[in-house]
Structure 1
């Protein structure tokens, strides 16, 4: 989906005070069905110089966004009449603002907006093909690899197993920052555009399976609490990280419990809150908040599958390099 979203930068105090009543579906639930974009320029972690500030002012947010856009434009090739002719810029979908969420970071807890320290025994795994930075399987990061010996050494997104922004929790990245949410009386379906993963979430009382049943995206159970949809997820495979960024992975999600909350704010944005609770990986829970904007566009298929042309190409190229050495 290639969409440029115009966003309004406001302070929390300037949010509409006369918001319309929440629209509801045939089941009496808040109508949050549709396609939502979670692209944003808000960083995951708070810049150190703003460690004690959760929010920016309107003026600071405008300057913050413009500085990022200026740096981005300066790095792209310019054609005649100043036209940007960068192929990669055309396909990027980082987002062009922060919407009505003036937080200085997606992470709001710990209080400094930073990823907390690792628990004893937990490992921060970084993607690298350099021999001087060894790492062990399983490769839990999303892009790159720890070697080119086999597919197990490549990132999960490179293997088309999970997207590099789908999580859960969902976190914005380079492109395909879109998800479609479908509502039914006793189920919710969340489809992420990146690698077209679908999470089918029952909304009735059904126990979690035992620990022997594990999935890449975990097993989810949901319920409504007032006008907020709450989704609890556990039973992740130990091959997933508790928190992933494209080239880094923190710990193992084997014993992680994730809570996600969805509710509409006064401006019609879908507020997405997540809490990562994994004492095996972090010394304290991580809570994040981001806002999703409703999109009139469709979610398109991301036709990725393990064993695609890129992965055999990487491995075959390395075998040829070994022969020539």
Structure 2
């Protein structure tokens, strides 16, 4: 049988092949919005298992070998199959992988739901999220900070006397901004406009609408739970500076004068490098910074109706009243 060759088809195949090769050789380009700024929009996840601070077992070592990483991933997989979810949150997962003697269970008294409900964590070669100082450790607190903690008034009465005696987290009012806890509702939605950027975090639905039009911060006398955020573009990085925290909103024991600088830089289609710097000379001897790789997620942000459905608070207070009544009958 005579074979027929179609020149057009051959040409088309060659053109497509050459185009594919050319596309593969082109450097990645940052996607941009209509106003020319990098497009950061979408839902981004922080499910890293890299510890906040470098564990003592990794002292002087900023990266794992391929063999160490494979071993730790295997161990993390075993823990996921057998541990309750609470013990896999934040740094608790890597503490167990390393058999850290300082590991303490998340909720040893009442237990927790199982890991079926918990997202898988991502391990990479880094040994700490903290990138400055180079030790990978948060700087020690100052003597002024120690004195401040020692002088805090001791609460009178019990923590179950009233809902107001519980923390903002217990009451599902706020987890704080920025949220650095990985693996638990650690999803962020970013929406951009010409003069504002909105950052919405799933955990306790904390949201910020951040002006990027050059307006100054609020007067120093105005203090807010999530501080006062102002944004600007520095090259292809969105820089958000937050000041004016209230005493209840300050992070990790910092004063309300802490200054937090966040940098969002899209480095790939699927990744934003999220850098956060904390500066409070009344708490730490020097500023310190961390970097979290945020991964693009195709999932939606879900309503976090924790405060509205906080049955645990009712149970805590009701249980305390039962205990008090029982004590009077002894």
What TM bracket, shorter-length normalisation? 0.7 to 0.9
**TM-score calculated relative to the size of structure 1:** 0.76
Q: Report the 3-state secondary structure (helix = DSSP H, G, I; strand = E; otherwise coil) of the residue aligned with 1:31.
A: coil
Distance 1:218 1:34 in 2: 24
Q: Report the 3-state secondary structure (helix = DSSP H, G, I; strand = E; otherwise coil) of the residue aligned with 1:265.
A: strand
1:240/1:253 contact within 8 Å kept:
no
Aligned to 2:89: none
| Residues 96-141 of structure 1 deviation map (CA, whole Å, 9 limit, x = unaligned) | 323xx53211112222212221112325999xxxxxxxx7579xxx
Aligned to 2:43: 35
Q: How has the CA–CA distance of structure 1 residues 155 and 173 changed in structure 2, closer, same or farther, with 3 Å as cutoff?
A: farther
1:159/1:307 contact within 8 Å kept:
no
Residue 58 of structure 1: CA displacement? Answer: 3.4
| Residues 228-259 of structure 1 deviation map (CA, whole Å, 9 limit, x = unaligned) | 0000001111113422xxxxxxx244110000
Distance 2:79 2:258 in 1: 37
Is 1:52–2:60 an aligned residue pair? yes
The number of equivalent residue pairs is 275
Aligned to 1:91: 117
Distance 1:151 1:125 in 2: 26
Q: Report the 3-state secondary structure (helix = DSSP H, G, I; strand = E; otherwise coil) of the residue aligned with 1:232.
A: strand
Distance 1:59 1:267 in 2: 28
Aligned to 1:282: 284
Which structure has the highest helix share of the two?
Answer: 2
Distance 2:195 2:201 in 1: 20
Aligned to 2:297: 295
| Residues 173-211 of structure 1 deviation map (CA, whole Å, 9 limit, x = unaligned) | 341110100011111000001111110001011111112
1:214 is matched with which residue: 202, 212, 223? 223
Aligned to 2:4: none
Q: How has the CA–CA distance of structure 1 residues 234 and 75 changed in structure 2, closer, same or farther, with 3 Å as cutoff?
A: same
Q: Report the 3-state secondary structure (helix = DSSP H, G, I; strand = E; otherwise coil) of the residue aligned with 2:122.
A: coil
Aligned to 1:176: 185
| Residues 46-69 of structure 1 deviation map (CA, whole Å, 9 limit, x = unaligned) | 111212122223333232222222
Q: Report the 3-state secondary structure (helix = DSSP H, G, I; strand = E; otherwise coil) of the residue aligned with 2:114.
A: helix
Distance 1:279 1:198 in 2: 27
